[in-house]
């Protein structure tokens, strides 16, 4: 049962990421850095911090939501691809800004979510 819940939660998170990413890109069609995935990862980190801070004492729910949903919603793999593409295009300042902003803001977002 947990595996099915995990897969469903991951699927919902992935679909939500795709939908939100398209909305962000429609409003910011030509950003200097990949803003869409960065904002989604920051939002997901913040929300995961909120979720973790609830202290839910249900291991199944924690795995399904914490790992399934938020694992599907946030994406380190796409972040990695976009960072490498910027580096390959020799856009060193943009790649450094993207990597630094994503890392600092995601960790800061998680921290902020956990103390709200």
Annotated binding site: 71, 74
Binding residues for Na(+): 71, 74
| DSSP secondary structure string for all residues of the chain | -HHHHHHHHHHHHHHHHHHHHHHHHHHSSS-SS-HHHHHHHHHHHHHHHHHHHT----HHHIIIIIIIIHHHHS-HHHHHHHHHHHHHTT-HHHHHHHHHHHHHHHHHHHHHHHH-
């Amino acid at each position: 049962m947990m595996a099915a819940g995990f897969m469903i939660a991951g699927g919902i998170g992935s679909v939500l990421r795709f939908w939100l990413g398209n909305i962000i890109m429609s409003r910011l069609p030509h950003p200097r850095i990949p803003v869409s995935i960065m904002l989604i990862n920051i939002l997901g980190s913040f929300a995961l911090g909120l979720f973790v801070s609830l202290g839910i004492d249900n291991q199944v729910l924690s795995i399904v939501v914490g790992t399934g949903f938020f694992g599907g919603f946030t994406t380190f793999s796409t972040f990695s691809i976009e960072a490498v593409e910027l580096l390959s295009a020799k856009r060193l300042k943009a790649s450094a800004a993207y990597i630094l902003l994503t890392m600092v803001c995601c960790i800061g977002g998680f921290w902020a979510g956990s103390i709200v």
